[in-house]
Amino acid sequence: MIYRIGAHTLQPCRIELPPSKSIANRITLLRALAGMPQTTDNAACNDIAAMQHAIGNTDNIIDIGDAGTAMRFLTAYYASTPGTQHILTGSPRMQQRPIGALVEALRAAGASIRYIDKEGFPPLAIQGGLLQGGEITIKGDISSQFITALLLVAPLMRDGLHLTIIGNIVSRPYIEMTIELMRSFGATITCHDNSITVAPGEYNPACIEIESDWSAASYWYETVAVSRTPMRLKTLWRNTLQGDARIASYFGQLGVATSYDNGDVTLSPGPVTAQNFIADLADTPDIAQTLAMTCALKGIPFQLTGLGNLPLKECDRIAVLISEARKIGFAFTSPVAGTIEWSGNRIPSPHTPSCIDPHGDHRMAMTFAPAALVTGEISISNPDVVAKSYPHFWDDLQRAGYVITPYDPKEEVQP
């Protein structure tokens, strides 16, 4: 299936974003570790549903599809659950995403985990047991979810956990989110520089409200920046655990003013102050694609750094962003690993209208949709990939005035 997307005149509207999947997935695991019953109230996207379905699943083989968060968190959860045996697997792309650093750290804590196929990659055979814990080290520049997975199960370790993180830490706000949520469930945690100590103990039941997803909000910031049409987003908190709330500051330079009112956020056209947008996104890599496309669509050169883990995401986000942006005339480059740049020059577009291949990446599909505001029309293949984090994305675009026409190339009549 392909969606043809057109955009001419948009209309202001109030958008209900999906719940933060980062918060929801952490709370799902914390509820399980605290002995609380599971709820499916917040299973608003595939990633959250995969996590909730797997918790307590007694099947021997657990297939979490392309839910990367679930793969990391469940590896630690199953390894620390005595008397259980699981084979944890996922989609072909998931089996290409490295998990060796997490497995080695869990083994150092006493876990019994075996690679079924390729060393360092899923699928995994996991024998659950009481982990000893103690002194563990892990690299910080691969995935913050490895660190989060270790922290979440740390109170259940016999000796607790003293975790030393080596090198630069990517996506640090997600680790800080984990620590704050753990404390809400009664964990005792101390932090000093790149060391985190978690005392052994038990989690206490807690009720935490799950706010809307700031990462999902980024596509509406992009829409407002390009269209200059105001939008209102429901249940976004100014005082949030989500690092991607930094988009309010970034987009302030790109012509979007953010105001907060009774739990909602209003996005309004504002002055553009960036002539050359520069940002280190090591803490917020999930908004790199959105910032890159917004700058390009507004004709603002940019340099984005701190993106060393993007090739390990749902697709190689640097390579795919470069290849797909060329289809609509933008020659992005990556002169140094972990960077994306654009000088401001346009190139002839080889495909009219352009058909973007998101390569199985939900964020790639959502990032390119607002390009229709500039190109007049854009096509996106495999549009269902947005179900991973924002299933009603296309419906929300139509409410705002985008025109979306589905078609199946297989059904076109051949001459």
Q: Which residue has the higher pLDDT, 43 or 398?
A: 398
Same domain, 392 and 326: yes
Last residue of a domain, one of 171, 198, 225: 198
Residue 206 forms part of a structural domain: no
On whether residue 207 sits in a domain, the answer given is no
For residues 229-234, average pLDDT: 98
Q: Based on the fold, state whether residues 257 and 400 are members of the same structural domain.
A: yes
Q: Are 334 and 263 within one domain?
A: yes
Q: Please write the tens of the pLDDT for every residue from 256-278.
A: 999 999 889 999 999 999 999 99
Residue 401 is part of a domain; what is its CATH number?
Answer: 3.65.10.10
- 203 domain residue, yes or no: no
Same domain, 262 and 165: no
| pLDDT at position 388 | 93
Q: Which of 350, 339, 342, 381 lies closest to 364 in space, CA to CA?
A: 381
Domain boundary among 198, 225, 245: 198
The least confident of 69-78, 128-137, 280-289, 344-353 is 344-353
Q: Are residues 236 and 307 in the same domain?
A: yes
Whole-number pLDDT of residue 350: 64
pTM of the full structure: 0.93
- Same-domain pairing of 264 and 359: yes
pLDDT in tens, 294-341: 999 999 999 999 999 899 888 999 999 999 999 999 999 999 999 999
Single residue among 137, 170, 198 that ends a domain in this structure: 198
Those residues with Cβ within 8 angstroms of residue 36's Cβ, 6 or more apart along the chain or in another chain: 205
Do both 284 and 368 map to the same domain? yes
Segment 93-119 shows an average pLDDT of 97
Catalytic annotation, residues: 286
Task: State yes or no: pLDDT of 58 exceeds 90.
Answer: no
Q: Is residue 208 part of a domain?
A: no
294 and 191 in a single domain? The answer is no
What is the C-alpha to C-alpha distance for residues 378 and 371, in angstroms, rounded to an integer? 7
Are 31 and 167 found together in one domain? Answer: yes
- Among the listed ranges 105-119, 155-169, 398-412, which one has the minimum average pLDDT value? 398-412
Query: Among candidates 298, 235, 222, 297, which has minimal Cα distance to 267?
Result: 222
**Complete DSSP assignment for 159-202:** T-EEEEEES--TTHHHHHHHHHHHHHTT--EEEETTEEEE-S--
Number of independent structural domains in the chain: 2
Two tokens at 208? 């935490």
Element (H, E) at 101: helix 100-108
Q: Is residue 355 part of a domain?
A: yes
Tell me: do 396 and 263 sit in the same domain.
Answer: yes
What is the pairing mode between strands 61-63 and 85-89? parallel
Average pLDDT, the chain: 94
State the residue range of the domain holding 260: 2-17+213-411
381 shares a domain with 285? yes
**Tokens 């084979």, residue?**
87
In a domain, residue 204? The reply is: no
The answer to whether position 93 is within a domain reads: yes
First-residue to last-residue Cα distance in the chain: 21
Q: Does 41 share its domain with 160?
A: yes
